[in-house]
Amino acid sequence: MSMYFYTVKCMLLDMEDSKFCSSCGRSVEAGMQFCPQCGMVISGSAADVEFKERQQEFNKAVGMVRRNWLIFLLAIYAIPVIITTIVALVDASNIANSIWVSDEFQKWITDHGYNYTKSDIQGFITTAAGLGLASGICATVSLVFVYKRRHWVIAVATCFIAAFLCFWSFFGIIIGILVGWMLVVSRDIFEDES
Ligand SMILES: [Zn+2]
């Protein structure tokens, strides 16, 4: 009977003190950092803890690089768009006038049989510039939240709204969707979400 208890005790102690390699399954003694059979880091050992810390530091550094890229991409879109659309809104009448008087434009409306007036042209410019300005402002809001690393959902939403508001520009919408997707997969760089 005492032999039986001894065996059970040994089994219990063994289960507590020794572990198994997560890679090859060999049993490893407590305090071992690497598996003597396959060289795998033993889970929970000092080497494993250090490895995980290094990995976290690396991921954080990669996240910061991604954040800087996002800020850069949003800024090179938002700044010129806001400036040009404000100029277009202020100067819509003159721009419409210069388009109106061009021979190519007159030929184009005659060829297509359109009945556009000069004020229609001004209306188109104002609408496109207004949408562009709203798009640039949305991209700026997204940029601010990326910079602050807060409110991932708002940053993603404003980026996609910025993309769809420039539906009249093929490249604008493609780049906007790509940056939006980059934001979707960069949730880890936002402090309140990770
Ligand atoms: Zn192993």
Q: What are the tens digits of pLDDT across the range 12-32?
A: 544 445 588 989 999 888 888
- Answer for the pair 32, 42: CB distance below 8 angstroms, yes or no: yes
Q: From the CA of 42, how far away is ligand 1's center (Å)? A: 8
Identify the pLDDT of residue 10: 46
Q: From the CA of 48, how far away is ligand 1's center (Å)? A: 14
- Please give the Cα distance from 179 to 164 (Å, whole number): 12
Say whether both 148 and 177 belong to one domain.
yes
Q: Final residue of a domain: which of 42, 59, 76? A: 59
Domain housing 89:
67-189
Say whether both 107 and 178 belong to one domain.
yes
Nearest by Cα to 193 from 165, 161, 167, 154: 154
Q: From the CA of 5, how far away is ligand 1's center (Å)? A: 31
Alpha helix segments (H runs only) across 18-117: 46-90, 92-101, 103-112
What is the mean predicted confidence (pLDDT) over 52-59? 92
Into how many domains does the chain fold?
2
- Answer for the pair 119, 112: CB distance below 8 angstroms, yes or no: no
Identify the pLDDT of residue 43: 86
Q: From the CA of 43, how far away is ligand 1's center (Å)? A: 11
Whole-model pTM?
Answer: 0.71
Say whether both 85 and 122 belong to one domain.
yes
Residue 121 lies in a domain: yes
Q: From the CA of 83, how far away is ligand 1's center (Å)? A: 61
Higher pLDDT, 154 or 29: 154
